[in-house]
Structure 1
Protein backbone atom coordinates (compact mmCIF):
# COMPACT_ATOMS: atom_id res chain seq x y z
CA UNK A 1 0.00 0.00 0.00
CA UNK A 2 1.39 3.35 -1.02
CA UNK A 3 1.31 6.03 1.66
CA UNK A 4 1.54 9.76 1.31
CA UNK A 5 1.86 12.71 3.64
CA UNK A 6 -0.72 15.44 3.86
CA UNK A 7 -0.53 18.51 6.07
CA UNK A 8 -3.87 18.58 7.85
CA UNK A 9 -4.92 21.79 9.58
CA UNK A 10 -7.36 21.15 12.40
CA UNK A 11 -8.84 23.53 14.90
CA UNK A 12 -6.92 23.13 18.18
CA UNK A 13 -10.04 21.97 20.04
CA UNK A 14 -10.80 19.38 17.36
CA UNK A 15 -7.22 18.12 17.39
CA UNK A 16 -7.26 17.81 21.17
CA UNK A 17 -10.53 15.89 21.09
CA UNK A 18 -9.19 13.57 18.37
CA UNK A 19 -6.08 12.91 20.45
CA UNK A 20 -8.23 12.03 23.47
CA UNK A 21 -10.39 9.65 21.45
CA UNK A 22 -7.34 8.01 19.87
CA UNK A 23 -5.79 7.50 23.29
CA UNK A 24 -9.05 6.11 24.70
CA UNK A 25 -9.34 3.73 21.74
CA UNK A 26 -5.69 2.73 22.03
CA UNK A 27 -4.80 3.73 18.46
CA UNK A 28 -2.47 6.26 16.89
CA UNK A 29 -3.95 9.63 15.95
CA UNK A 30 -3.04 8.95 12.32
CA UNK A 31 -4.99 5.67 12.38
CA UNK A 32 -8.02 7.37 13.95
CA UNK A 33 -8.03 10.04 11.25
CA UNK A 34 -7.62 7.43 8.48
CA UNK A 35 -10.58 5.42 9.81
CA UNK A 36 -12.72 8.55 10.21
CA UNK A 37 -12.06 9.61 6.61
CA UNK A 38 -12.75 6.07 5.35
CA UNK A 39 -16.06 5.95 7.26
CA UNK A 40 -17.18 9.30 5.85
CA UNK A 41 -16.27 8.31 2.28
CA UNK A 42 -18.13 5.03 2.70
CA UNK A 43 -21.24 6.81 3.96
CA UNK A 44 -21.19 9.19 0.99
CA UNK A 45 -20.75 6.33 -1.49
CA UNK A 46 -23.63 4.36 0.05
CA UNK A 47 -25.93 7.37 -0.26
CA UNK A 48 -25.15 7.81 -3.96
CA UNK A 49 -25.45 4.04 -4.55
CA UNK A 50 -29.01 3.98 -3.20
CA UNK A 51 -29.91 7.12 -5.15
CA UNK A 52 -28.74 5.42 -8.36
CA UNK A 53 -30.65 2.22 -7.51
CA UNK A 54 -33.83 4.16 -6.71
CA UNK A 55 -33.61 5.97 -10.05
CA UNK A 56 -33.67 2.59 -11.84
CA UNK A 57 -36.54 1.20 -9.77
CA UNK A 58 -39.68 -0.14 -11.45
CA UNK A 59 -42.26 0.61 -8.74
CA UNK A 60 -45.27 -1.09 -10.42
CA UNK A 61 -43.23 -4.27 -10.99
CA UNK A 62 -42.01 -4.28 -7.37
CA UNK A 63 -45.56 -3.83 -6.07
CA UNK A 64 -46.73 -6.70 -8.29
CA UNK A 65 -44.06 -8.97 -6.82
CA UNK A 66 -45.07 -7.99 -3.28
CA UNK A 67 -48.74 -8.75 -4.00
CA UNK A 68 -47.81 -12.29 -5.04
CA UNK A 69 -45.43 -12.98 -2.15
CA UNK A 70 -46.62 -15.93 -0.10
CA UNK A 71 -49.98 -16.15 -1.84
CA UNK A 72 -51.64 -19.49 -1.06
CA UNK A 73 -48.98 -20.54 1.45
CA UNK A 74 -49.35 -20.91 5.18
CA UNK A 75 -46.96 -18.92 7.39
CA UNK A 76 -43.78 -20.73 8.36
CA UNK A 77 -43.30 -21.59 12.01
CA UNK A 78 -42.60 -18.35 13.89
CA UNK A 79 -44.16 -16.12 11.17
CA UNK A 80 -47.73 -16.34 12.46
CA UNK A 81 -49.46 -13.06 13.33
CA UNK A 82 -49.91 -12.39 17.04
CA UNK A 83 -53.53 -12.28 18.18
Structure 2
Protein backbone atom coordinates (compact mmCIF):
# COMPACT_ATOMS: atom_id res chain seq x y z
CA UNK A 1 0.00 0.00 0.00
CA UNK A 2 1.57 3.31 -1.01
CA UNK A 3 1.80 5.95 1.67
CA UNK A 4 0.90 9.55 1.08
CA UNK A 5 4.03 11.02 2.59
CA UNK A 6 7.02 9.18 3.95
CA UNK A 7 9.48 12.04 4.29
CA UNK A 8 9.52 11.81 8.09
CA UNK A 9 9.70 8.03 8.32
CA UNK A 10 13.50 7.69 8.57
CA UNK A 11 13.71 10.34 11.30
CA UNK A 12 10.87 8.79 13.27
CA UNK A 13 12.04 5.21 12.88
CA UNK A 14 15.62 6.05 13.73
CA UNK A 15 14.69 8.02 16.83
CA UNK A 16 15.66 11.50 15.75
CA UNK A 17 17.92 13.40 13.38
CA UNK A 18 20.44 10.59 12.87
CA UNK A 19 19.97 10.63 9.10
CA UNK A 20 22.33 13.15 7.45
CA UNK A 21 20.49 16.30 6.50
CA UNK A 22 23.20 18.48 4.98
CA UNK A 23 22.27 21.03 2.32
CA UNK A 24 22.26 19.25 -1.02
CA UNK A 25 22.31 15.79 0.57
CA UNK A 26 18.88 14.64 -0.54
CA UNK A 27 18.91 11.16 0.97
CA UNK A 28 15.19 10.74 0.33
CA UNK A 29 15.74 10.36 -3.41
CA UNK A 30 17.85 7.26 -2.95
CA UNK A 31 15.86 5.72 -0.10
CA UNK A 32 13.07 3.31 -0.83
CA UNK A 33 10.66 2.41 1.92
CA UNK A 34 8.13 -0.34 1.44
CA UNK A 35 5.24 -0.48 3.86
CA UNK A 36 3.16 -3.59 4.37
CA UNK A 37 0.03 -3.56 6.47
CA UNK A 38 -1.47 -6.35 8.50
CA UNK A 39 -5.18 -6.97 8.10
CA UNK A 40 -5.77 -4.92 11.28
CA UNK A 41 -3.55 -2.12 9.95
CA UNK A 42 -5.41 -2.09 6.63
CA UNK A 43 -8.75 -1.90 8.45
CA UNK A 44 -7.47 1.00 10.56
CA UNK A 45 -6.22 2.83 7.45
CA UNK A 46 -9.57 2.31 5.73
CA UNK A 47 -11.44 3.68 8.77
CA UNK A 48 -9.14 6.70 8.84
CA UNK A 49 -9.66 7.34 5.14
CA UNK A 50 -13.44 7.14 5.62
CA UNK A 51 -13.21 9.67 8.47
CA UNK A 52 -11.19 12.06 6.32
CA UNK A 53 -13.68 11.71 3.43
CA UNK A 54 -16.59 12.41 5.82
CA UNK A 55 -14.81 15.46 7.27
CA UNK A 56 -14.05 16.89 3.82
CA UNK A 57 -17.46 16.16 2.29
CA UNK A 58 -19.17 19.39 3.44
CA UNK A 59 -16.33 21.46 1.99
CA UNK A 60 -16.22 19.64 -1.32
CA UNK A 61 -19.97 19.18 -1.82
CA UNK A 62 -20.27 22.43 -3.75
CA UNK A 63 -17.51 21.57 -6.23
CA UNK A 64 -18.35 20.41 -9.72
CA UNK A 65 -16.95 17.12 -10.99
CA UNK A 66 -14.29 18.99 -12.95
CA UNK A 67 -13.33 21.02 -9.89
CA UNK A 68 -13.02 17.85 -7.79
CA UNK A 69 -10.79 16.23 -10.40
CA UNK A 70 -8.62 19.37 -10.56
CA UNK A 71 -8.37 19.52 -6.77
CA UNK A 72 -7.37 15.85 -6.67
CA UNK A 73 -4.70 16.40 -9.32
CA UNK A 74 -3.27 19.39 -7.45
CA UNK A 75 -3.22 17.54 -4.11
CA UNK A 76 -1.50 14.54 -5.71
CA UNK A 77 1.10 16.89 -7.21
CA UNK A 78 1.76 18.43 -3.79
CA UNK A 79 2.14 15.02 -2.13
CA UNK A 80 4.40 13.73 -4.91
CA UNK A 81 6.61 16.82 -4.59
CA UNK A 82 6.97 16.13 -0.87
CA UNK A 83 8.31 12.64 -1.63
CA UNK A 84 11.11 13.95 -3.85
TM-score, with length taken from structure 2:
0.30
Q: Which structure has the larger Rg over C-alpha atoms? A: 1
Bigger relative CO (Cα 8 Å, ≥ 6 apart): 2
TM-score, with length taken from structure 1:
0.30
